[in-house]
Amino acid sequence: MNETKKQIKILIADDHPLFLKGLHEIISEESGWLVVAQAKDGGQALEMIIEQSPEIAILDINMPQKDGLEVAKYVQENNLPVSIIILTMYDDELIFNRAASFGVKGFILKESAVDDIVDGIENVIVGKTFVSSRLTNRFLQGTKNKKLLQNIHRFKLTRMEQKVIKLIADNYTTKAIAEELFISPKTVEHHRSNICKKLNLSGKNALLRFVLENKELLQRILPEK
């Protein structure tokens, strides 16, 4: 048995009974996955999340009472221990960005749900983010670039912080950054910490990964050292 599937409790919510039934059948075929609750609206879904404590909640974005994003926002604000996967009929960039801001871990187009739902759950279970491939081909890269630009300005990185990121992108070490900017290595580390907080990055090498993933764009948009 795949250990990642062991005793995984899943909630599904959709206001279309036939779609809900089909989703239940697909998930139930997987060993170790248990659908512990089904909801027909967002209000009911939220109650069941609180009562049943599922590891995964799969929510239609358009439901009566509360939509999927409202439920995701409540989950995030109240630190409920459940990972959210959103189902949507739309490849709308604004909706995608809102879902990401509410901590949604999976974003699946309904038209490809039959093909994507199992992969989506498997990825989210192990802490990864999953997005339907049809979405990534349509707008994900453009969204990523625009969001990066927005974050650089929205979170008001200081010019010094921007210079630090630029130097990291240019493969400078902490010591080399300190020498280049005439500051101490301790001050460089302080700037790195502030950058991580402002860009919502966490983990030992989160800033380095962020810079490497966006290196080309960062080198274009940040000021010269």
CA distance 83 to 87: 13
| 8 A C-beta contact, residue 46 and residue 72 | no
| Res 48: pLDDT | 96
DSSP assignment, residue 183? Answer: -
- Answer yes or no: is pLDDT of 143 > 90: no
Please give the pLDDT value at position 93.
Answer: 66
Q: How confident is the model at residue 34 (pLDDT cuts 50, 70, 90)?
A: very high
CATH number, domain 3-138, options 3.90.470.10, 3.40.1690.10, 3.40.50.2300, 3.40.1010.10: 3.40.50.2300
| Top-confidence range, 30-34, 52-56, 146-150, 207-211 | 52-56
pLDDT score recorded for residue 136: 67
Residues 6+ apart with CB under 8 A from 85: 56, 57, 58, 59, 104, 105, 106, 107, 108, 120, 121, 124, 130
Query: What are the residues whose beta carbons fall under 8 Å from the beta carbon of 108, sequence distance 6 or more?
Result: 85, 86, 87, 88, 116, 117, 120, 130, 131, 132
Confirm if 71 and 46 have CB atoms less than 8 A apart: yes
Q: What percent of the chain has pLDDT over 70?
A: 82
Average pLDDT of the residues in 152-181:
84
Tokens of 222: 């940040």
- CA distance linking residue 5 with residue 204, whole number of Å: 28
- Residue 184 confidence (pLDDT): 95
Question: 140 pLDDT exceeds 60?
Answer: no
Residues 6+ apart with CB under 8 A from 82: 11, 49, 53, 54, 55, 56, 57, 75
More confident residue, 151 or 96: 96
Note the pLDDT of residue 139: 52
| pLDDT for residue 213 | 77
- Residue 49 contacts residue 71 (beta carbons within 8 Å): yes
Task: Select the CATH number that applies to the domain covering 155-221 from these four: 1.10.3720.10, 1.10.10.10, 3.30.390.50, 1.50.10.20.
Answer: 1.10.10.10
Q: Which residues contact 149 (CB under 8 A, 6 or more apart)?
A: 217, 221
Q: Using 50, 70 and 90 to split pLDDT, how confident is the model at 120?
A: very high
pLDDT of residue 5: 42
For the residues 50-62, what does the mean pLDDT come to?
A: 95
Q: State percent of the chain over pLDDT 90.
A: 49
The domain spans of the chain are 3-138, 155-221
Q: Tens digits of per-residue pLDDT, 183-196?
A: 999 999 999 999 99
pTM for this entry: 0.60
Give, as one character, the DSSP assignment of residue 12: E
List, in order, residues 6 or more apart from 38 with CB less than 8 Å away.
Answer: 11, 12, 13, 20, 24
Residue 172 has pLDDT above 50, yes or no: yes
Q: The tokens of 154 are what? A: 């929205």
